Structures are given as structure tokens and as C-alpha cells.
Amino acid sequence: MRSVCLALLSFNLLICCFAKAPTLIEPKNPEDPTTLPEGVTRKVLVVGGGLAGLSAALELADRGYEVTIKESRDLIGGKYYTKPVEALNETFYVEGGFKAWFNSFHQFKDIRNRLGVNSNFEKWPAVDVVFRNYKPDSIYSTGPFPLNLLGVVMRSPNVEFLDVIKSTKTIKDLLYYDFDLINEKYDNMTFREWATEMGCTDSFYETILLPAFNERTDISAAEMLTLQQIYFLTNAEADKREVCNVNHFEAFLKPWVDYLESKNTKIIYNKRVESLKVNSETLEVYGTVDEDGSDKTVYDDVILATDYKSVKKIFERTIERLESNDVKLSEVLNNCVGTNLSKMKMAPEYKVLRVWFDKQLNADRPRILQTPDYTPVNIITQFHLLEKEYISWANKTGGSVIEFTLFSWSKHFPMETPDDKIWGLIAPTVKEIYPEIFEDDFKILYTHVNSVETLTSYQKGLIEVRPTVRSLAHNNLKNVFLAGDWIKTDYPSAFAERAVSTGREAANEILLKDNVQQASILHVNKKGPLA
């Protein structure tokens, strides 16, 4: 009965369904030259060397701009910062946690092509998940839409036909997705509240709709429906994902830096921007005051591409340093803070523990395992089966390198917990998932802990207050633009793709102003597959 009903459902969907292709935003000035005219100099400061800042710098440097990036740390990358760690008489590069790269990351794919780094990525064919109250599942998408989605449901050992029938009200918002309408209707409720309102069964919600995430209970329904659209629903290829086969530094960060430096981009490391220097008459930012003194360079434009908390601090310190008679400028800066920055929130902080063991897990264990019910452990990644330097080390030693992403750490334990205590706190949970670590007496050879503190929240109620790339310019700070994964876009985007897309948007604002042809932007369609 189940297979017959699902077949009928698929037939009905096929009749009325066309998968949606991505949408291209063409340059507003296609007739303008593609580079600055010969003899014309424009200097742009990019504050923050994460993906947003690197993306903005790439577009500007390719068009002849003199770009300076100020990065507060000793390496580039922002949330994708990858640092060298000395361990066991070798140097390993350690990221801030496992990351996946989706087919719908259109701007990032374009950057990969331009950098020539596609060989550093490989397919991740299925998402393996274990639950406490449900059977293990391996989730993958194959075939034409909508059969690919029906296949996910039909293969699930945890969802019965009755679950599908009871959850059919979710189909309207999922498959008839409308970006603008969804944001308007559902940003003020959580995804859980939305699922309850739609009559979604627990098993369908918990095993199909809700992934591992660091704000699982608080995430906005509008944001999650957008994530579903980006990663799974926009077309049959949306679910295709990749992982890096070398560390992030080698995979794309170093090639990116090398490319920018070949275009005369100046990257200044360990340079924290304290405040902005603003012309009181023109309301233009012309420079910065840095932690170690004033930068004498005068810039034509500034892109603030760091995290929300850092941008807010820069503005607060700028206001503190104003002369008392700068009433007009004070009003502009306070409007920027009050309107664009004061209402944002940060996501809960979390930990990532990477452990070098002397033994390896059973051969049938997946390279990447999501464990959403085993809080605070949410993802377990076998890096000795993913990245070349770790594969090489494991082949030499017979050991393993396993990472535990602890998204909900700060909800259960203090972030100040000493690094050497973390394994002991999660070991009972890990034992439930991979008992062989304890039964076979794995020995810990080395551990490394990352604390992740700079993720912007995706809680309910924030879409309306998120600034756009042009928000500061709209508040009369004429030549300052924002970029980052916390910035609002007019199209579906999130995380790494939102960072690089808003970086490109910020560059485009400068290009348009200077009569240089903008870069095109390709994005996930604003309408769902049945809309």
C-alpha cells in the first residue's frame, strides 16, 4: 500500500512540477569597461580576511583596484581559519570544524574555478545519521525531481506512509516555497513551532527535516525553510555535496591568497581595526585607527567583512572618539549602530575536539556521521579517511584522527572548560556511538580543541533586522559597505555562500560607483520547485 500511494503521489507531482534553475543577476552596467581606466587609482580597505572579505577583494583586484585586507589573526580564512599544529613530531593543519560544500554554492564554485582548485574537493555521496530513538539512516538524493525526494522518504527506515500523510501540510511551504513570503510569514516562529503548526509527525521532523545544527531548537522557521530550499529542494542536484580532500588552507585559502597577492593585493596580518576615521563634512570613511596606531593610508572605499560583534565594536569605539561638536556625524554613526547592528545576536559558542588515536574504528564506520540526538556530540568525522596529510599519517602509524563537533557544548558545559577535560566529559556519549574505542582500549596520542565563538545567530525574528550590504550607505555613511554570512540578501543564501555572495555584492557597489562593470551573481531560485 505504501509503495502504491507513494507512486501515485510521485506521478501527481511529476505532472505539475518543474525543478527550478538558479537565477542570474546581471551587471547593472554591462556597457562599462571591465577594469579601471589606465592611470586611475582606487584604494579599497577590506576589514576581515574571511570568505566575505576574500570574495570582495577578488572582484576588485581583478578589475585593477589597490586592495588592502586587514586581518586580526595570523592566518586568513575567518570561520574557515586553518592553523598549523605541531603534534607527534609532525605539522598538521587543523580547521575549525568539518565543513561541506553544496552544489548550490554558485559563487563559491565560480571562485574555485578561477583559482583552479577543483581537484581539492571530492564527492560526499550520503549523509549517515544515527539516532537514539530511531534506526540509523543513510540519506542521499538520486534521480530526477521529485523522485529524488520521494526516494529519501521511501528509503528511510524511520518514516511510514502514515507519517507522510500526516505531514502533507508541510509540502506547501517546502515545495511551493516563496522566498519573500516565507520570510514574512515564518521568521517569528521557530522551525519546531512551524512543524507543530503543520501537523508534522515527530519521526518525519526529527529524522528527515532537522539536521545537525548549533541552534536546532531556536532556529527561525523561515531560515530553515530557506536552508531546505538551498540544500535539498531547489532542483535534483541541490543535494550534491563535496568535502575537501586536503585541509582548507591548502584546498583554497593559500591559492586564494596567492592569487590576490599576484594582483597586488596587500594582506596585513595581526592587524585589529579599532575604529574608523570619518570626514565630518562628506560623511566618508577615509581610514582606520588600528590597535597599534593610526594607519596613514587614505582609502576611497571600505568594506567591513568581519563578524557582527567586531563591526559593532568598531562603531562603538568610533563614536567614543568623536569630538563633542561632531553632532551630525554622531547622529549618523549612532543610527548605523541602532538601526543596523544593535539587534543582531550571536549563535551559541561551541567546541570542536580533534583526537589522534593509536587505532582505527571498524571498517564499516562512515567517514562522516551526524549524531543529532547525542548531545553535545553532533558530528563525528574521521579525518584520516578524508584529508591527504591525515591519510598519510594513518597509513604510516595505523592510527586515526577523529573529530567531534560539539555544537551544543555551551548549553551543557562552560566554554572555559580546560581542553584536557573535554574528552572525559563526552566519553560516555561517544561510547554509545562507537563502543570499540573503549572495548579495544584506544589510546589518545594527542588532542586539539577549537572554540568557535563568532557565528551569527539564525534565531527567529532576526531576518527583519539583518543589515544589507548597503545599509550603512543608506544611513548616510556613503562609502562603507558590509559583507558576511550575517548580512541579509534578496535571494536564498546561507553560511559560506552568503559570505562570498555578499562580498561580491559589496565589491559591486564600488564598481558601479566607479563605472566599472559589475560581477554577475548566480543564486538559488527564489521560488520552490512547484511554485
Show contacts of 133-136: CB within 8 Å, 24+ apart. Answer: 133/206, 133/373, 134/158, 134/203, 134/206, 134/207
Domain housing 94:
79-122+242-248+350-452
CA distance 260 to 62: 8
- Say if residues 164 and 199 touch (Cβ distance below 8 Å): no
| CATH classification at residue 87 | 3.90.660
Joined grid coordinates for residue 424 = 572525559
Which residue matches cell numbers 512540477?
A: 17
CA distance 339 to 325: 22
Task: Based on the fold, state whether residues 382 and 421 are members of the same structural domain.
Answer: yes
Within a domain: 90:
yes
Q: What is the pLDDT of residues 171-199, one digit of tens each?
A: 899 889 999 999 999 999 999 999 999 99
Task: Based on the fold, state whether residues 332 and 413 are members of the same structural domain.
Answer: no
Report the number of distinct structural domains present in the chain: 3
Task: Based on the fold, state whether residues 58 and 198 are members of the same structural domain.
Answer: no
Count CB atoms within 10 A of the CB of residue 296.
6
Within a domain: 531:
no
- Say if residues 500 and 80 touch (Cβ distance below 8 Å): no
Task: Look at residue 2 and tell me whether its pLDDT is greater than 50.
Answer: no
- Say if residues 333 and 320 touch (Cβ distance below 8 Å): no
Last residue of a domain, one of 421, 452, 483: 452
Angle of CA points 260, 113, 237, to nearest 5°? 140
Q: What is the pLDDT of residues 73-131, one digit of tens each?
A: 999 999 999 999 999 999 999 998 999 999 999 999 999 999 999 999 999 999 999 99
Task: Based on the fold, state whether residues 109 and 151 are members of the same structural domain.
Answer: no
Last residue of a domain, one of 452, 471, 493: 452
DSSP type of residue 119: G
Within a domain: 530:
no
Task: Based on the fold, state whether residues 103 and 197 are members of the same structural domain.
Answer: no
Task: Based on the fold, state whether residues 55 and 85 are members of the same structural domain.
Answer: no
Task: Look at residue 496 and tell me whether its pLDDT is greater than 50.
Answer: yes
Task: Based on the fold, state whether residues 414 and 291 are members of the same structural domain.
Answer: no
Within a domain: 41:
yes
Percent of the chain at pLDDT > 70 equals 95
Alpha-helical segments (H) within 219-335? 221-228, 248, 254-262, 308-320, 327-335
Q: What's the whole-number average pLDDT of the chain?
A: 92
Within a domain: 261:
no
Predicted local confidence at residue 146, as pLDDT: 67
Task: Look at residue 327 and tell me whether its pLDDT is greater than 70.
Answer: yes
Predicted local confidence at residue 515, as pLDDT: 98
Which residue matches cell numbers 516563496?
A: 178
Q: Which of 19-23, 57-61, 257-261 has the lowest mean pLDDT?
A: 19-23
Task: Based on the fold, state whether residues 316 and 444 are members of the same structural domain.
Answer: no
Predicted TM-score (pTM) of this structure? 0.94
How far CA 344 is from CA of 47, 70, 371, 462, in Å, comes to: 19, 23, 29, 7
The H or E element that residue 194 is part of is helix 191-197
| CATH classification at residue 478 | 3.50.50.60
